[in-house]
Amino acid sequence: MTTPSAAADSPRTLCLGALRAGLVLFGLTVAPVALAIESVVVLKSDDLSVYDAPIEAFEQAIGRPVTVLNIEGQRSVAKDIVTRLRFDPPPLVFALGAKAAWMAHEQMPHVPLVYGMIRDPARYGLEGMGVTGVGFEIPYETLMGQVQLFLPEVRKIGVILTNQNPAVQELRTAARNAQLELDVSSVQDHRDVRGACTRISKRVDALLVIHDPEVLTPENFRFVREQAARVGIPIIATSEALARSGALLAVVPDYGLTGTQAADLATRILDMGAEPGDLAMLRPQGARVLINKGVLHSLGMELDPMLLDFTDEVIEPEAGR
């Protein structure tokens, strides 16, 4: 299990911890100031704009009072908030981002947890009887359908994945159903990616980049982007950040619907008595499509103007490029 990155405790924090331990030893306790929360808590990992849409949708769909708390990406803030929530627990926490979800799950295991906006939640130990959530990976059937619509000239797609990646079979099935051919290059780890990319890029019409921590390092993506440009093929991604960094087409979750789906899970837990661990993680229902116009032009490609009506965002070239 991976712990989301956080700064180490300072000497002052350690001294305070020792002081509290001494007070408890002598029969004295330092009670935290309760947040006096009776509403469902939305706990977000940081002040990121991508969290706005799921929070708004969750608030509209849940039908209960909602309190939004922000740990600001800081361990000290997170510990303070969670300590006070433990003193006066809410009926449920909807956590956005790995840091908030991990902290809530570790420190408040008896409070039902619904997570969202997290890639590979199992990596952070977000599983068990007290937790469920909405995934962050678009169903590959949806992805391949959008490729078929926006890039009809692409017939063969290459993807580099580590050995035994569980996504392979679903990718193959989705590609076959969309009448596309999938060329999978398996690697042991990140060190094999450059050679695999050089070879596979010469025999496919496009490269697909999906979440795989061993493959998708910043250095490797830069190489994949440069190699794709050299051979004149587009990159397809499942990340908004990668669309802004050089992928031509990205298919990502609809963040508003993530909030609606999370509210549905919360309602089943709070109103129908469902155990979170009995509710399977939901795959994102909706998708947003992003096109990088600068990459489109650099590849000498054109997009049917009618397709712009189906594009959620066109990323314009940066000034001076």
Domain edges within the chain:
35-136+257-278, 140-252+288-315
For residue 47, name the pLDDT band (cuts at 50, 70, 90).
very high
Which of residues 5 and 192 earns the better pLDDT score? 192
Look at domain 35-136+257-278 and name its CATH class: alpha beta
pLDDT score of 7: 39
Sign of the CA dihedral 56, 62, 65, 68?
negative
Question: CATH classification of 140-252+288-315 is 3.40.50.2300, yes or no?
Answer: yes
Q: Tens digit of pLDDT for each residue in 25-34?
A: 333 334 444 4
pLDDT score of 11: 39
Count other Cβ atoms within 10 Å, centred on residue 172. 16
Count other Cβ atoms within 10 Å, centred on residue 298. 16
For residue 201, name the pLDDT band (cuts at 50, 70, 90).
very high
Residue 89's Cβ-side half-sphere holds a number of Cα atoms within 13 Å equal to 12
Q: Tens digit of pLDDT for each residue in 59-106?
A: 999 999 999 999 999 999 999 999 999 888 999 999 999 999 999 999
The answer for 232, left when phi > 0, alpha when psi is -120 to 50, beta otherwise, is left
pLDDT score of 3: 54
- Identify any residues that bridge with 186 across adjacent strands, giving them in sequence order: 161
H/E segment holding residue 220? helix 218-231
Q: Tens digit of pLDDT for each residue in 232-288?
A: 999 999 999 999 999 999 999 999 999 999 999 999 999 999 999 999 999 998 899
pLDDT score of 12: 36
pLDDT score of 37: 59
User: Angle between the 255-270 and 52-62 helix axes, to the nearest 10 degrees?
Assistant: 40
pLDDT score of 2: 55
pLDDT score of 165: 85
Tokens of 292: 């990088």
> CA of 94: how far to CAs of 14, 107, 220, 315, in Å?
30, 14, 34, 31
H/E segment holding residue 200? helix 193-200
The Cα angle at residue 164 between residues 161 and 170, in degrees rounded to 5: 75
291 closest CA partner among 282, 281, 279, 301: 301
Q: Is pLDDT above 50 for 19?
A: no
H/E segment holding residue 263? helix 255-270
Residue 236's Cβ-side half-sphere holds a number of Cα atoms within 13 Å equal to 28
CA distance 196 to 14: 48
Q: What is the DSSP letter of 128?
A: S
For residue 310, name the pLDDT band (cuts at 50, 70, 90).
confident
For residue 14, name the pLDDT band (cuts at 50, 70, 90).
very low
pLDDT score of 163: 86
Which of residues 164 and 113 earns the better pLDDT score? 113
User: Angle between the 167-177 and 140-150 helix axes, to the nearest 10 degrees?
Assistant: 40
Same fold? 35-136+257-278, 140-252+288-315: yes
The mean of the pLDDT values for the chain is 88
Q: Tens digit of pLDDT for each residue in 124-134?
A: 999 988 999 99
CA distance 79 to 295: 43
